[in-house]
């Protein structure tokens, strides 16, 4: 898969097949044959993928234009799959240039997780990837950064295929890679306490107590190379109006920014986080994914290992502070997915 900051290839095999798989993968890192036929076929595949996953899905169409509105300079405004009119023009020369530049051992992170011994994997890596010549040095990953945001923005899509409306509000916030010490951890806990599941404030208040929302939540995209987004969302239930749901979500955000969180809910959120990390590391594919994502977005192995300890150190006031500092509605971007007027 390809995400905003990196492309990952992953495979699961029995330990005995590891050497052969690494041999194959090392070979296709530099020796892929890209001819016009392959490119034409693959371009048709991604165009069809775009048509089916994005263009025929109003939520995805809205999401793209919300991203391009939230991000006014940084590359996250560009869809990972690309804009249709540009994808149509991609050719063999583009693919070859990209492959030659980026698919090199000096631009790759190899993560092996499972029932293996480090020294055996290291020997295998030297025997396989180690034979691949180093590629040209890559330029530093310096990318356009966001200007200061000064406005409140909205993006609205009304579509006949929509029956229940929904909204999301997003803010530009620091990622683990760009944040000052402790801020990304506080944002992670803020998202968890505010809207991280059925125990969260948004769920309890809007879905359970007030009964106005079919769904309500929050998330924070921490492991990104550049500044990232913090998102709240909701959809009404029954006769409730979307505007009421949004107002109730915003009230919960404002309440945390002014009153903070309790030490009880903070401790419970930390427990859930640390537990979910333990569960994740229990599965070899998610463990590999955590290390790969961290290393590909500017972090290192120690960051992964020390993360539970850094989460434990976050104070209730630090959670309140990041809410107050970053979740300012006057500098936010909201997306609205609505039924067609008249429906």
Q: Which positions lie near a second copy, rule CB under 8 A?
A: 61-62, 64-65, 68-69, 72-73, 77-78, 83-86, 144-145, 147-158, 330
Q: Give the contacts of 146 (CB within 8 A, at least 6 positions apart).
A: 71, 72, 73, 74, 172, 227
Exposed e or buried b per residue across 267-285, where buried means at least 16 C-beta atoms within 10 angstroms of its C-beta: eebbebbeeebeeeeeeee
Phi, psi angle pair for 259, to nearest 5°: -100, -15
CB of 156 to a second copy, least distance (A): 5
Q: Based on CB atoms, which residue is closest to a second copy, 119 or 330? A: 330
CB of 283 to a second copy, least distance (A): 38
Q: Based on CB atoms, which residue is closest to a second copy, 230 or 336? A: 336
Q: Based on CB atoms, which residue is closest to a second copy, 21 or 87? A: 87
Unique residue bearing structure tokens 């915003």: 250
Q: DSSP letter for 219, please.
A: E
CB of 213 to a second copy, least distance (A): 23
Instruction: Write out the two tokens for 333.
Output: 């971007």
CB of 234 to a second copy, least distance (A): 19
Q: Based on CB atoms, which residue is closest to a second copy, 161 or 209? A: 161
Q: Based on CB atoms, which residue is closest to a second copy, 91 or 262? A: 91
CB of 150 to a second copy, least distance (A): 5
Cβ atoms 288, 280 nearer than 8 A = no
CB of 73 to a second copy, least distance (A): 6
Length of the chain: 343
Q: Angle 309-315-320 (CA atoms, 0-180°, nearest 5)?
A: 135
Unique residue bearing structure tokens 């330990």: 15
Q: Based on CB atoms, which residue is closest to a second copy, 63 or 236? A: 63
């Amino acid at each position: 898969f390809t995400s905003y900051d990196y492309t990952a290839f992953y495979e699961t095999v029995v330990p005995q097949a590891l050497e052969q798989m690494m041999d194959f993968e090392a070979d296709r890192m530099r020796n892929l044959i890209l001819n016009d036929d392959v490119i034409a076929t693959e371009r048709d595949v991604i165009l069809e993928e775009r048509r089916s996953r994005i263009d025929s899905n109003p939520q995805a169409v809205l999401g793209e234009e919300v991203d391009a509105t939230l991000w006014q300079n940084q590359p996250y405004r560009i869809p990972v799959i690309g804009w249709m009119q540009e994808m149509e023009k991609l050719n063999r020369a583009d693919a070859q240039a990209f492959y030659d530049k980026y698919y090199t051992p000096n631009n790759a992170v190899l993560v092996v997780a499972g029932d293996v011994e480090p020294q055996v994997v290291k020997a295998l890596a030297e025997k396989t990837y180690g034979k691949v010549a180093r590629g040209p040095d890559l330029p530093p990953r310096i990318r356009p950064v966001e200007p200061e945001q000064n406005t409140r923005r909205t993006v609205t899509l009304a579509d006949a295929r929509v029956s229940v409306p929904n909204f999301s509000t997003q803010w530009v916030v620091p990622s683990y890679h760009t944040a000052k010490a402790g801020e990304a951890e506080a944002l992670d806990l803020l998202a968890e306490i505010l809207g991280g599941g059925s125990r969260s404030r948004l769920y309890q208040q809007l879905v359970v107590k007030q009964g106005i929302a079919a769904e309500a939540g929050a998330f924070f995209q921490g492991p990104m190379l550049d500044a990232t987004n913090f998102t709240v969302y909701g959809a009404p239930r029954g006769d409730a109006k979307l505007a009421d749901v949004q107002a109730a979500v915003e009230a919960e955000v404002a309440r945390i920014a002014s009153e903070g969180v309790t030490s009880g809910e903070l401790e419970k959120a930390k427990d859930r986080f640390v537990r979910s990390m333990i569960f994740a590391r229990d599965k070899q594919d998610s463990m590999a994914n955590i290390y790969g994502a961290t290393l590909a977005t500017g972090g290192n192995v120690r960051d992964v290992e020390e993360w539970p300890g850094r989460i434990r150190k976050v104070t209730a006031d630090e959670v309140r502070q990041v809410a107050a500092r970053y979740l300012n509605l006057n500098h936010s971007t909201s997306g609205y997915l609505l039924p067609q007027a008249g429906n």
